[in-house]
Amino acid sequence: MGSDDPTVDRPHYNFPPNMTSEIITPRQGALRCADMVLGPYGTAVWVQPGDYSVAGLISSDTHLQHMPVPRSHEALIATAFPGLLNAKGEPHIKASWRSCGENWTCLDYDEERGCVALGSTTGAVTILDI
């Protein structure tokens, strides 16, 4: 029999929310691929933006002579947060893959199979086995 109370069938949530863990990444910037996926076993994947400050104010197309400009690439980050797959209690990055010229715009993650699908601005889809 159902109840008229709408909170009966809902899981318990703490309010206000408590931060359980945090990873600080050295790169900051706009996420071109804003998808972040948290799996039920405590892993997460996201696309970390490239470090655009690495080149400073140098542009590769404004100089009369060739000047090498350092480049930074986006990277796919896979992290294990405290949970079934990480009993240590501290989150840590398990793996990262650097983008080789692709501008990733979307991702999907199947934690049970260990598979990540990345879509790029060129229409290419890359499948990675973690």
The tens digit of pLDDT for each residue in 102-119 reads 788 899 999 989 899 999
Whether 5 is in a domain gets the answer no
What's the Cα-to-Cα distance from 66 to each of 51, 57, 58, 73, rounded to whole Å?
22, 15, 12, 21
Residue type, 11: P
pLDDT in tens, 22-52: 777 666 667 778 888 888 888 889 888 876 6
CA gyration radius for the chain?
A: 20
Whether 29 is in a domain gets the answer no
11 pLDDT tier (thresholds 50, 70, 90)? low
Whether 46 is in a domain gets the answer yes
Domain containing residue 107: 36-53+65-129
Whether 123 is in a domain gets the answer yes
Separation of alpha carbons 57 and 41, rounded Å: 43
Count of other CB atoms within 10 angstroms of residue 119: 17
What's the Cα-to-Cα distance from 78 to each of 8, 42, 47, 59, 96, rounded to whole Å?
35, 11, 9, 32, 6
**Taking the complete model, does pTM exceed 0.75, yes or no?**
no
Whether 12 is in a domain gets the answer no
Number of domains the chain contains: 1
Burial class (CB in 10 A: 0-12, 13-18, 19+), 112: exposed
Whether 72 is in a domain gets the answer yes
Whether 106 is in a domain gets the answer yes
Whether 31 is in a domain gets the answer no
What's the Cα-to-Cα distance from 104 to each of 23, 81, 125, rounded to whole Å?
21, 24, 9
Q: Specify the pLDDT at position 1.
A: 46
